Structure 1
Amino acid sequence: MKKILLLGLVSLFLFSCNNQENKELKIEKAFYYWKGNSSLQEEGAKGLNKLGVKKLYVKLFEVDYNEVQGNYPYEKNRLSTYELEKLDSVQIVPTIFIKNGIFQYNDEKSLDKLADNIVFLIDKYHKQEYGDSKIIFNYDEIQIDCDWTKTTRDKYFYLLKKIKSLSGKQLSCTLRLYPYKYPDIMGVPPVDKAMLMCYNLVQPLTNKGQNSILDISELKKYLNEKRTYSIHLDIALPVFYWSQLYQNNQFEKLVPLTEKEVKTFAKEIKPLWYQVQKDTAINYQTYLKTGDQIKCETVSIQALQEAITVIKEKVVLDKTTTISLFDLNEGTFKQFSHEEYTGFYNAFTK
């Protein structure tokens, strides 16, 4: 009887401590703005303001390599003062995506030049393009996004150090779940903090029966025990969707359709999968034929809530943590309501 009572008191104490830790957690609300060559829409700005989002990770450009140009930027996204005037005191974090494949073509000398070019372009983009050098946005942090591997780790980490040194800014990077779980194999990036990306857990074209955006069973494989990472962690969660078009059982392309829209002309044949019932034209650009198949991947409220529960249980977070949702586009605030988005952020403190 005494043992049972003691166990009950210990459990109550631990629950109380965990609950208190969550209540003391301060959340900084953030979003990713990833779409290249686009402008911030009025609806998106209003949604961010209403939520009280104070940080926006903006992909300015991506970096790839070819034999003619060497390392080169593409998919550029330049903000304007007009767009930023729509936002209420939002901090901009310039974010650069670097393709992992470039490192096989680079040595330290060329990486020095790449780091210099990246810092130069970010500095250029935060100023007005024409006329005087008016500042469009101030920034004190740069984020680098790269799916590095064990073989590219050393060169990638070298590049991070150079960017940090040249910019004089706080540097963060994205962190996928595999390197998070296996830092002894993948190393710990030499940055001030990392954004743990809790989505895109399986290959979308090879795991056809799973939701590649957010699969809770896969998430639990990586977050299978409580861990403390050696640098500060922020958290990124998905609020996007995509639909994959298959013709003759071969992947054709992504189509800009919600599952609700697909249901108007296609029949569900198994979980996630629909078959086109009649020839259909989408915005006069995409033509679907009878028999084509579409895999619709979206993230439910229930899946996000379960993911947050797993993260809270298994990831040790600092007292102030940024929670960022990926990503802001024209359909973001049609996907979930204001109350639902608020709930995703607030769930971390309950």
Structure 2
Amino acid sequence: MKPFFLGILFCSFLFSCNNHKVKQVERAFYYWKSNGYQFSQYEDSITESLKVNKLYLKFFEVEHDETLGNIPFSKTDLRMYNNQAQRIIVPTVYLKNEIFIKSSKSELDTLADNIHFLIQKNCRDNFKLEKKVTEYQMDCDWTLKSKDNYFYFLKALKTISKKEISCTLRLYPYKYRTKMGIPPVDKVMLMCYNLINPLSNKNKNSILDLEEFKSYLTVEEKYPIHLDVALPTYSWMHLYRNNNFLEISYANLNDTKKVLKPIKPMWYEVVKDTIIGESYFRVGDKLKIEETTTENIQSAIQLLKKHTPLDSKITVSLFHLDEQQLINYNNEEISSFYNGFIE
């Protein structure tokens, strides 16, 4: 092959690689709490100090009731105040998958109209943001069975709202895109956590197991629509009593560990009756503690950079803005979760 043609191929290779390097990251948080009228002082200050100006704020959730149809619940009580008015708010709605299995097309048209109405009302009454909102995000663990109806709903919402529509994308439909289809939205948020059913594998971290995570990043082709990234900054505990799963607890880890003795990796036994937050731990209870650490989040970022083609400008959102979870990281560590994507 002549040197001239080798040069063209080499330049094309460099151009192709550069197309997949992130140059700019928009910093964001999810806010997923339903109770509370305002951010804590810490939550407010950390967004200021880290220059996080974008919030994916859960407005409400929707479930299917056999009698009442599709109904909202778990609405946010959050209010915005003057010093927070400049933040970019993306109203986010969680929809249970059964909605799209049990609803007709006409019911989905009504659902799209109702969701748009409720978002507008909340923006107007609680956030004074109706004119500023440009994007809605829908969050659903859609499946092959619900795909067609979910995609129909997304199109209907776009038509009714005249807004930019984004949706969450789990790793399974990201990898198996030919089978699962591409959602008809303007962009997607790749959810890089909750990879395993929390109760199905008792020896793995279901929030972020790096081996499991890597197994989904095997598609070389760029996703056909814009891809943003969401990373976990939370931990939780699975509480077992008499060897039966009882609940997921978000009690303070440092306080809880004071009454535990280790059994094996991730597993502990309660040695003293105690109440921490809203959880009651009884002597003999077993706890599986699943934590996200700075190290495994940074490892996940490196895997994404190596295996996932991304646009030059992306949004990186951390899940989620919660004082009790974020105190496990310092500001420099949190900042590294954003900056780690930039070449």
**TM-score normalised according to structure 1 size:** 0.89
Q: In the alignment, does 2:104 pair up with 1:107?
A: yes
Query: Which residue matches 1:206?
Result: 200
**Equivalent position SS for 1:44:** helix
Q: Secondary structure at the match of 1:321?
A: strand
Q: Structure 1: any 5+ residue segments left out of the alignment?
A: 1-9
Note if contact 2:175-2:218 (Cα within 8 Å) is conserved in structure 1.
Answer: no
| Contact 2:56-2:90 at 8 Å conserved across structures | yes
Q: Alignment partner for residue 327 of structure 2, among 317, 331, 334?
A: 334
Aligned residue type for 2:167: C
Given that 1:56 and 1:93 are in contact with CA atoms closer than 8 Å, whether structure 2 keeps it comes out as: yes
Match of 1:3 in 2: none
Is the 1:49–1:88 contact (alpha carbons within 8 Å) kept by the matching residues of 2? Answer: no
CA contact (8 A) 1:141 1:171 kept: yes
1:233-280 CA-partner distances (Å, limit 9, x unpaired): 000000011111100111111223243222201101011111011222
Q: CA offsets per residue over residues 137-191 of structure 1, 9 Å max, x none?
A: 7210000000000010000000000000000000000000010111111000000
Q: Percent identity?
A: 44
Report whether the alignment pairs 1:25 with 2:18. Answer: no
**TM-superposed deviation, 1:78:** 4.2
After the TM superposition, which of the residue ranges 164-173 and 288-297 deviates more from structure 2? 288-297
Alpha-carbon separation, structure 1, partners of 2:326 and 2:15? 35
Cα root mean square deviation, aligned: 2.3
Counterpart check, 1:34 vs 2:32: yes
Aligned pair count? 333
Residues 344 and 101 (structure 1 numbering): CA distance in 2 closer, same or farther, change over 3 Å? same
Residue of 77, 88, 98 corresponding to 1:91: 88
How far the C-alpha of 1:40 sits from its partner, in A, is 1.8
1:183 aligns with 2:177: yes
What is the aligned partner in structure 1 of residue 253 from structure 2? Answer: 259
Aligned to 2:4: none
Which residue is equivalent to 2:80? Answer: 81
Instruction: Name structure 2 gaps, 5 residues minimum.
Output: 1-8
SS at structure 2 position matched to 1:210: coil
User: Quick one: structure 1 residues 19 and 102, their matched pair in 2 at CA, closer, same or farther if it must change by over 3 Å?
Assistant: closer
Give the Å deviation of 1:294: 0.8
The separation in 1 between residues aligned to 2:30 and 2:262, in whole angstroms, is: 32
User: Which residue is equivalent to 2:3?
Assistant: none
Deviation at 1:19, TM superposition (A): 7.7
1-side partners of 2:50 and 2:109: how far apart?
40
Partner of 1:323: 316
CA displacement, residues 43-69 of structure 1 (integer Å, 9 cap, x when unaligned): 101101111112100000000011221
Aligned to 2:340, the other structure's residue is in SS state helix
Cα separation, partners in 2 of 1:134 and 1:153, compared to 1, 3 Å: closer
| SS in structure 1 at match of 2:258 | coil
Cα distance in 2 between the residues matched to 1:254 and 1:290: 17
Q: Give the aligned residue type for 1:315.
A: T
